[in-house]
Amino acid sequence: MVDHEEIYKLGASLRPINTQMLKPGRVWFYGGEAYFDIFFELSQNEIDWFQLTLRGRSLTWNAGDRTIQTGITNELVVPDVSYYSASKTIDDDPASDQDFIALTKEILKTRPDQPLFRQMLHLLDQSA
């Protein structure tokens, strides 16, 4: 389990990436450690899809089915990390990892100043 201080540090480390580098409607926040980021796709300032990855785990949500899917990424698998750090594959969990969902929510709660994080938290609460 991750302690409160580490959760706070993870939340505080998230910084937006320059949106000019992305397609319109996409927003990317990168965390202070490797393999920690949140990626959003928006339509009219509403979230259509998001994915958070952290330490080889992933959480994905989309507006189509409004379900939460967790999984394992290949980001920590050598040699994948050394050759293709910007790409990843995800193997879905057979059932959503409730502990990872709870950790994600706790990280988001550390950043009430960020509207997208508040919206993401609300969507996770509605989908639980």
DSSP 39-70: EEEEETTEEEEEEEEETTEEEEEETTT--EEE
- Which candidate, 79, 77, 59, 54, places its Cα nearest to that of 69? 59
pLDDT in tens, 5-19: 999 999 999 999 877
Residue 125 pLDDT level (bands cut at 50, 70, 90): very high
Percent of the chain at pLDDT > 70 equals: 88
Phi, psi at residue 12, to the nearest 5°?
-65, -25
**pLDDT for 121 beyond 90:** yes
* Residue 68, domain extent: 4-127
Rg, Å, the chain Cα set = 14
Phi, psi at residue 118, to the nearest 5°?
-65, -45
Instruction: Please tell me the predicted confidence (pLDDT) of residue 79.
Output: 60
Instruction: Please tell me the predicted confidence (pLDDT) of residue 80.
Output: 53
**pLDDT for 41 beyond 80:** yes
Number of domains the chain is built from: 1
